[in-house]
Structure 1
């Protein structure tokens, strides 16, 4: 009995000693443009908090997820027997990013997109910027997002986009009909970060959409003009258990995006209410000191399965490298991308990375059924090699070049350029 009482007393004294260890002072170093009070607001550990190394590690990871931060670390210093000084050190990214994408449009002419975004607006990791693109026709858009504007968990964002494109529509007899797609959309979103692994977005999208016939062998049942005013609920749920250190990524992430039309007023049932959903499952694994294995499984489904104006495109920049620019469309798809990335050269701010990849996908044709995904008549399989030129201190500053070659019946191959990793 005496031994039991003694053990209980020792345990209580130990707990009291642990409780007495507190964080007296929190300092943040290395940040030049990112505001210190913003970083402190995001951190779990506050002045007066109990010493908890798990929460300190969580704060380091939370900082690394910010666009303005390339790397973060921490240091504990003992002030006295009961109090500690905690210092977070961050390495900042340059977060004002110009962008230029050059590709081929559907007419095999030059297409390009120029953009300018600040991912650390006001020193609070707000995103502000816009783009202009020329892809047969002119398009532009403006964006502002403040994910932590209201509290560390709540934020808002708005955007306006005018997208005008030449959209090929693929028919059952393999004929191709070209339409001018003109969309003007305003969107408002609310962001909620439950914790640093789970994030939600919910918003309303107000859009005016027009399709106007350009050329091709148009059947009688496909109208020459379509128009609709649409109000949609849009949103996203992200589970993020990713850790990153400059160009290296490790962990799992799932991103589910959706759009559901609440009200649609137009002149054709082909553009009536429908649901679009897509989920990206991503898995990254560090291989040794310089290797990275990256994987993405993309599942997509839309309920407008009887219309040729299908939402999911088979395209170089979106899912299958080397296949071409909008070569097919579907109302459901399964796409798997896997690649091995290896850093060949790294010094200071620069890194040169090579990759070997396999891209595979299958589509459900408009008017078809989910069995199309299994039968594989619309399947594509490509492999290839690529290079990545990486500026380690500029957010998402990855210039990529990939060359893909078909392993299936399609005789396609081609080069794909872009900014940022493919996924």
Structure 2
């Protein structure tokens, strides 16, 4: 782009340095000036465009990006609201070639350009920008320091421990080949709620199963009533037919998905389910280990089905897992469960394999926060 122009038409180009030290380096060596002289807009080191919080493409447009995770609507388009856009991945030099050509897709191999010198390409890291701005508190904990709260900064709600048995109600059943973390908790408009776990949970599965939040809240209300010593009628009737004990049974919501958890590593994909009363997920397999680990850390048992087994459960059905707590504590990996559909009970097998000792304790304590509060994990 040196000496060139991206033009003054509809095409535009934004540049996001991947860190503040990199932003400082390209300012010092003149690269930022070269890009700005060509018409590019320099932005701060911010991850927004990747998850739809900035530079959302205009309606019916194509955006080329040097970024990963190129799946549907990640860049912020909202087809349900009549706004659709497309995104394509491209290498950085071809993006520059396209910009030099006024937005007409152009490969870097199709234009002549001067190779930068070794000195121009050498990166000099300057950590002073972190030292001068970021507090380094490792090893200097101050228990007396108070947390600062604001109107949209809320504490986490209390997370109940796992009781002897588990009764979950299916609040979403998704048979798509893969369910992404962006579907489990959309990005973009939710970013302002990241310090408000209850507010953020209102967006869980909002683009895929809009009814999920309301269904889960109704189940959460039954568990809260049980904890107060009350008798939630619906759960009591189900457990009565199964021979279960209400006071020894955790009541929660559950999602079935064939292969959940693909996409970004966002922890909120699991935490929002827990805040809404989630106690388990059921899947054929988990798309990523990190999502499965996040489920465990938020006290949701990550069940899978035996290989080749079909899942016939529907929204509104119940799954009852007697003896779950004792089984997890003992390292049991296969659980005999009951699926309740329209009053009819069928036997199913659920698996939970490969839990570490710490993971088993996290699940029985209710979540990782409870685990640490109970004094575990200090060794």
Question: Does the TM-score normalized on the shorter chain lie above 0.5?
Answer: no
Higher helix share: 2
User: Higher strand fraction: Structure 1 or Structure 2?
Assistant: 1
Normalising by structure 1, we get a TM-score of 0.25
TM-score (norm 2): 0.27
